[in-house]
Structure 1
Amino acid sequence: MTVELLHNAVRPYAWGSRTAIAEMLGREVPAPHPEAELWMGAHPGDPSRVVGRDGSVRSLLELLAEDPDGQLGARCADRWGGRLPFLLKVLAADEPLSLQAHPSAEQAALGFATEDAAGVPVDSPVRNYKDPSAKPELICALTEFHALSGFREPERSVALLRALDAPDFAPYTELLAAQPDPDGLRALFTTLITLPQTALDVLLPQVLDACVVHVKEHGEFDLECRTVLELGEAYPGDAGVLAALLLNRLVLQPGEAMFLPAGNLHAYLHGTGIEILANSDNVLRCGLTPKHVDVPELMRVLDFTCGDMPLLRGEETAPGLWTYRTPCPEFELSRVEVTPGAEVRLDHGGPQILFCARGRVALTSAGGAPLVLERGRSVWLPAVDPAVVASSDVSAQLFRATPGVE
């Protein structure tokens, strides 16, 4: 068995937690700085390092370049040009992330080519497309996880806006009420995020005051109003605060997941989760950020399909193995629940990354010595490995990342 431990990079974004990742990795708490994401994979920006049983340490990128067929399997290597198609993360948010969406494969390819032809450097702060790839995502909650995602049913948004009854917002409310469908949402959303700052400076305080009243009166939209108030405090004068009024406000419980396809407008607000995504950096931002916002390009990417966001709880595809199904060929995420005395077989025709989220797990295969995986640690299993069996003397939880099923 060539299963090997991974050393993974921690990304210190300002919205991160000073406790969640540090505690998971067994380090001193609180950490000196916010820690937002633990990256597991072969992203060029921060590839994992593979620790051999002989103590050697090598970049996973180097291993893939040297032996793509053995590490990825011939089919995966051919399909993705020798690249690992997914990136696995632990994401820990103490503050809201930017309101954003990701392009489809076709949109990314066109956008990347267009910016290349225009001579925009790939590392430019005004560049939208860092690569020609799509970036679908799935987030699975480890703790209670709060998010905005997808456009709410227009009738419910009209009810929320009328409940607030902010005087100068009434014309915008009636714009949606007159056309409560995706086209009406597009019209209202476009109007809100292109308002001049002078108009925002009048409108936003009225909306925030109305949210305060609604919360004090224990109104129907208490959670939505509290969220808008938090965003308004964190991002004063930002049009994204108004855009958030049109989105579904979600609370995921541990084990629940949410799939974010191309064009889905979303923002993670608070909590810790396991995120798996296509190995891409393409982000179109809408607001709640000081970074570049390209409204025309955002509008080209956004999907205004509206309705409740479905939550995934995983399908038990084998004893102890729950799989979160998505249409993505780049990735598939599974949750592995290992009970004392039981064994869970983890077999796949391609590469796997296993991450231990709770307890500790012994990983064994035919003829190999067991490797004990502690909480917060991860391993790389190349395609040439035989099936691995997970067992434990305590209640333990793994997450498994693999390429998707085509």
Structure 2
Amino acid sequence: MQLLDSATRNYSWGSKALIPHLQGKDSSDKPVAELWYGAHPADPSSVDGQRLDAVIAADPQDSLGRRVEKRYGERLPFLLKILAAAEPLSLQAHPSKAQAEEGFERENRLGISLQASNRNYKDDNHKPELIVALTPFYAMAGFRPLVRTRELFDGLSCSALDHYLGMLDDRPEAESDNLRALFTTWITIPSSNRKELIAAVIASGEDLVARLPREDWRSVVMSTVIRLNEQYPGDIGVLGALLLNHVQLQPGEAAYLNAGELHAYVSGLGVEIMANSDNVLRGGLTPKFVDVPELVKVLTYKAAKDPRVEQVDKSAQANVDGAAVWSYPVPIEEFIIDRVELKGTDSVDLDFDGPAIVLCTGGEAQARDINGKTLQIAPSKAIWLPASEATVSISAVNGGKAEVFVARV
């Protein structure tokens, strides 16, 4: 086991406070958006001053184990992050595996540099992702069922939306087609018409917010839509936000997004895990490169009532001694993540046939291997456990309290 040093991403939407405060530091003078823990070639973590992707390539069987190497070659299948949003991220979706392979090969063939601002596909992998909230976390995630969108439109009483009411047929056999028709219609109308429509929606939204209780879901949605339009006036993402689930996660709660699901994180601090990819197709709410036609190609239009993932209590497992352990099951193979709360003499034993990363998000945790070697980690610090590592025990330092996330294949 070795200490794992993260890579830092300073995107403009990041928070100057959330990650520094997690680390016990003063606010930063520039946004700290993400800390990356993994081996993506764009920004790999390091162990003992060496890039993790190079460490894995030097001895993939030791790092990944036979099972993982056979399935994924020399690639660590997952990428773990801490994400801190003070401003909304772009309206975006991620490609499927087949779409990523085709897009990556196509852009390579066209000679588009991996560092080019107009590059969509940074690698050939898909990017299903799970976000677990560390603070209250606001996300727009997946298309809302049309019956609820019709309820929102009815509340707005906006005559400019009347033209689109026929697309709100929520019969199961029609819902996906109607979502596709409505969204693609909105993104293809002339810019001047789109801005007129948004202006009318905002005016009606301001009236709705003034009339409804603050906690009413329609008031929450329209308050966010109004704020988005203040930041990105007339942007297509403002209309997109009208169609999405607006989810407010509490600490410990999680949401999962599969390939092709339209989303945008709005605010908060969370631990994010995904397949090892940096492929993003953007449709708005960003100064970065937007490629609406490519986004539309990868989108799925299946409505979801709620993208939340139910937590599974694993505290009764044989390898757990007093700790509280929750898992977040997802329908893909690249990653599993557990959240572990430790106090006093609680401990959990880790022994996997593949690699793992242990990330501290609260208190101080200690890892001890079978030879008595110990490593301590404070919030935002992590430990790399290669597949060859024997059993490692995780506990809180000096009988205190700690929270860690354990990510593995």
Q: TM-score, normalised by structure 1?
A: 0.93
CA distance in 2, matches of 1:69, 1:250: 41
1:37 is matched with which residue: 34, 38, 54? 34
- Tell me the CA shift for residue 174 of structure 1: 3.2
Matched, 1:347 2:342: no
The answer for the alignment partner of 1:395 in structure 2 is 401
- Cα deviation per residue 1:298-333 (whole Å; 9 max; x = unaligned)? 222111111312422421233432211112221111
Alignment partner of 1:7 out of 5, 8, 18:
5
Contact 2:23 2:378 in 1 (8 A): no
Q: How does 1:23-62 map to 2 (within 5 A)?
A: 23-27=21-25, 29-51=26-48, 57-62=49-54
Superposition pairs for residues 7-406 of structure 1, below 5 Å? 7-27=5-25, 29-51=26-48, 57-177=49-169, 181-218=175-212, 220=216, 221-317=218-314, 318=317, 319=320, 320-392=324-396, 393-403=399-409
Mapped to 2, the partners of 1:164 and 1:83 lie a distance apart of 49
AA at the equivalent of 1:92 = A
**Hey, what's the Cα distance between the residues in 2 that align with 1:92 and 1:286?**
21
The 8 Å contact of residues 351 and 389 in structure 2, kept in 1 or not, is answered as no
Following the alignment from structure 2 to structure 1, what is the Cα–Cα distance between the partners of residues 208 and 394? 51
What secondary structure sits across from 1:326 in the alignment?
coil
Residues 162 and 173 of structure 1 are in contact (CA less than 8 Å); yes or no, is this contact kept in structure 2?
A: no
Query: AA paired with 2:94?
Result: H
Q: Give me the whole-angstrom Cα distance separating, in 1, the residues matched to 2:154 and 2:300.
A: 25
Give me the CA root mean square deviation. 1.6
* Structure 1 counterpart SS, 2:8: strand
Q: Letter of the aligned partner of 1:277 in structure 2? A: M
Q: Distance in 2 between matches of 1:173 and 1:248?
A: 19
Instruction: Tell me the TM-score normalized by structure 2.
Output: 0.93
Which whole-Å CA distance do the structure 2 matches of 1:326 and 1:146 have between them? 20
> 1:281: Cα distance to partner?
1.5
Deviation at 1:178, TM superposition (A): 8.4
| Contact 1:21 1:92 survives alignment (8 Å) | yes
- List per-residue Cα deviations over 1:313-354 (Å, max 9, x = no partner): 421233432211112221111111112112211221111111
What whole-Å deviation, never above 9, does each CA across 1:54-99 have from its counterpart, x for those lacking one? xxx2221221121111011122123212111111100000000001
Greater Cα offset, 227-236 or 286-295: 286-295
1:384 corresponds to which letter in structure 2? S
Deviation at 1:177, TM superposition (A): 4.3
CA distance in 2, matches of 1:104, 1:64: 25
Q: Is the 8 A contact 2:142 2:307 kept in 1?
A: no
Give the letter aligned to residue 79 of structure 2.
Answer: L
User: C-alpha separation between the residues in 1 aligned to 2:355 and 2:95?
Assistant: 26
For 2:130, the aligned partner's letter is L
8 Å contact kept, 1:193–1:240:
no
Does the 8 Å CA contact 2:56/2:64 hold for their aligned counterparts? Answer: yes
Question: How high is the sequence identity, in percent, across the aligned residues?
Answer: 45
Q: In structure 2, how many angstroms separate the alpha carbons of the residues matched to 1:216 and 1:316?
A: 42
What code does the residue aligned with 1:13 have?
Answer: Y
Name stretches of at least 5 consecutive residues in structure 2 with no aligned partner: none
Q: 1:297 to 1:360 in 2, by over 3 A?
A: same
Number of aligned residue pairs: give it. Answer: 395
**Superposed CA offset, 1:35-58 (max 9, x none):** 00011111112211213xxxxx22
Distance 2:329 2:265 in 1: 21
Q: Distance in 2 between matches of 1:252 and 1:164?
A: 26
SS at match of 1:199: helix
Structure 2 counterpart of 1:398, which letter?
V
CA contact (8 A) 2:36 2:45 kept: yes
3-state secondary structure, aligned to 2:308: coil
| 3-state SS, counterpart of residue 407 of structure 2 | strand
Question: Residue 217 of structure 1: CA displacement?
Answer: 0.3
Aligned equivalents of 1:169, 1:310: Cα separation in 2: 27
**One-letter amino acid matched to 1:256:** E
**Cα distance in 1, alignment partners of residues 170 and 8 from structure 2:** 48
User: Matches of 1:237 and 1:46 in 2, distance apart?
Assistant: 34
Report the 3-state secondary structure (helix = DSSP H, G, I; strand = E; otherwise coil) of the residue aligned with 1:73. helix
